[in-house]
Amino acid sequence: MKIIIVGAGEVGFHLAKILSQERHDIIVIDKSEERLARVSDALDVMTLEGSGSRVGTLQKAGAPGADMLIAVTSIDEVNLTSCLLAHKLGTRKKIIRVNDPDFLFSEGPLSPRDFGIDLVIYPEGLAAQEIVRLIRRSAATDVLEFAEGRIQLIGIRIDQESPLINKTLRDAVAEYDEVPFRAVAIHRGLRTIIPNAEEIFRKGDQAFVIAKTQYVQEMLKLSGKDTAKLEKIIILGGGRIGQHVAEELEEEISVKLIESGKEESLKLADVLSKTMVIQGEGKDLDLLATEGIMEMDAYIAVTRDEEDNIISCLMAKHLGVKKIIAHVEKLDYIPLANTIGIDALINKKLSAATAILKFIRKGEIVSVATLHGVDAEVIEMVAQKGSSVTKRPLKDLKFPEGAIIGCVIHDESVTIPIGATRISPQDRVVVFTLPKSIKDVEKFFN
C-alpha cells in the first residue's frame, strides 16, 4: 500500500516504523526539518518537508494515487484540512487524529463522512479505556480481548509468591492442566522473548498468556497476585484522561480525583456526580495521607507532567498501594515499567497508533493490538482455504521465527493449541508476532 502520514511526531513516527517494517510504501510529511531528520535517520521511508494542509504538498506526495492518508499532527484543523484535500485529490482512505473530542464528535450538521474521513482517533479516550480495563482486571498489567470476549490475552508480573517461579513452560502447563493457557511472550529486563517449552519463568518476568475468559482469574492467581476487586482509587490529574476514567468508574467504585488547578477542580466537581474532587498536588504527602492513600487499592497518575506521574506513583507504591498506573508521553519510558515497579505505563499516542493499525489491516486480519513496552503485536487472523497453515499439524509447520500461535477459534469452540492441533479453513487464529515476522505470518494464512 502507498500510505501518506501527515505529522512526524511520536504517533506518526511509530506508525511509519511499524508500516515500513511491513514493506508498505510510506511517505511522511512534516513542517519540521528536525522531526523529518529523525525519521530519515531511523527508518527506510521517504520524507517531504511542508504542510499536509497544502494542495501542492499533497500532490507532490502522490495523494491522487495513494491508498491511504493518516493525519496525526497535534493540530486538529491541519488534520481535517489534510483529509479533506486528500479526499478531493482521490486518496482512497483517510484517518484523522483529533485532540479535542468536541471537534468532530459534537452534534452538528456535518459528520466525518462529509469530509471523506473513514476513521476518527481520539487518543485520550483510548488511553482512558485502557486504564479502565486494567482497573477492572485488577491483577493484570495488560488486558486484550479476542473472539468477542471469549479469549483474553493478559500480562502478568511474576511475583515472588508465584508458584510458576523456576518452572519451565512445559512443566507449568502440565502441572496446572486444569487452567489451560499458553504463554506467548515473556518480557525480561528490556528484552522480549518468544518462549519455547523449555523457557523458565523467573521472578519479575512480565509474562503474556492467552486463556479462555473463564480461566483468567485462576491464571492471575498463578502469578502470585491478589485478584480481589479494586474498590477505592485515587486519580491524580483532572485532564481529559483523568475525567474519562472517573466518569467510567464512579458508578461502580469509590473514586477520588486530585487536580492542582482551582478552576479545573470546580468544573470537574460539577461534571462528576459521585467522584470526590480535591484541589491539591499529588506530591504532597500530607494531602495523600489525609485522603487515605494507604487504604487505596489503586493509584492512577495522568497529569501532563510525566515525571510527576512516575514520581508520585513510586511514592504510592512505597506506601503500599496495590495497583499503580501512570501515563507517560515518551515511548522510551514504557519498557522501564517492569524495572521500576510500576504495574502499567500508558501512552496515549501508542494507543492511537494501535487503533490505526487495526483499521489498516482489514481483510484476513480480524483485529490487531500492540502491547505497551513490548516490541510485538497480537493479531487475530482468518485461515484461508488452501493456505499453508491449514495443511499440517502445528508441530510440522515451519512457522516464522519470532511468531507463535496462541489460540484457535473454530465455529463456537476455542482451543489453546498443542503440537497436534490442526487449523481448518475459516478458523480464526490469534498470533503473537515480532514486527519483522508479520509479513511472513500473513503468507501462512493467505
Does any domain span residue 234?
yes
Q: Is the pLDDT of residue 364 over 60?
A: no
Does any domain span residue 132?
no
Does any domain span residue 365?
no
Under a CB-based contact definition with an 8 Å cutoff, are residues 429 and 383 in contact? yes
78 in the same domain as 55: yes
325 in the same domain as 285: yes
Please state which of the ranges 4-13, 189-198, 231-240 shows the lowest mean pLDDT: 189-198
Please state which of the ranges 155-164, 202-211, 337-346 shows the lowest mean pLDDT: 337-346
pLDDT of residue 363: 43
**In angstroms, rounded to a whole number, what is the distance separating the alpha carbons of residues 122 and 102?**
10
Cell, residue 271 = 461534571
CATH number at residue 164: 3.30.70.1450
330 in the same domain as 380: no
Q: Is the pLDDT of residue 304 over 70?
A: yes
- Print the domain residue range for 56: 2-121
Does any domain span residue 370?
no
263 in the same domain as 208: no
* pLDDT tens digits for range 315-352: 898 888 988 999 998 877 777 766 777 888 888 888 88
pLDDT of residue 436: 76
Q: Is the pLDDT of residue 374 over 70?
A: no
Q: Measuring CA to CA, which residue among 338, 320, 300 is closest to residue 133? A: 300
Average pLDDT score over the chain: 86
More confident residue, 288 or 273: 273
Under a CB-based contact definition with an 8 Å cutoff, are residues 323 and 228 in contact? no
By percentage, how much of the chain surpasses pLDDT 90?
38
Residue at which a domain ends, from 199, 222, 245: 222
pTM of the shown model: 0.71
Q: Is the pLDDT of residue 373 over 70?
A: no
152 in the same domain as 109: no
Does any domain span residue 54?
yes
pLDDT of residue 108: 61
Q: φ and ψ at 232, to 5 degrees? A: -135, 125
pLDDT of residue 138: 67
Does any domain span residue 131?
no
Q: Measuring CA to CA, which residue among 94, 121, 107, 92 is closest to residue 11? A: 121
* pLDDT tens digits for range 241-270: 999 999 999 999 999 999 999 999 999 999
196 in the same domain as 154: yes
* pLDDT tens digits for range 384-421: 888 889 998 888 888 888 888 888 888 878 888 888 88
Per this entry, what is the length of the chain?
446
235 in the same domain as 167: no
234 in the same domain as 195: no
Does any domain span residue 18?
yes
CATH number at residue 234: 3.40.50.720
Does any domain span residue 197?
yes
When divided into structural domains, the chain yields a total of 4
116 in the same domain as 6: yes
Region 124-148: mean pLDDT is: 80
Residue at which a domain ends, from 63, 94, 121: 121
397 in the same domain as 298: no
pLDDT of residue 277: 95
Question: Confidence class of residue 238 from pLDDT cuts 50, 70 and 90?
Answer: very high
202 in the same domain as 276: no
Residue at which a domain ends, from 189, 222, 255: 222
pLDDT of residue 180: 83
114 in the same domain as 11: yes
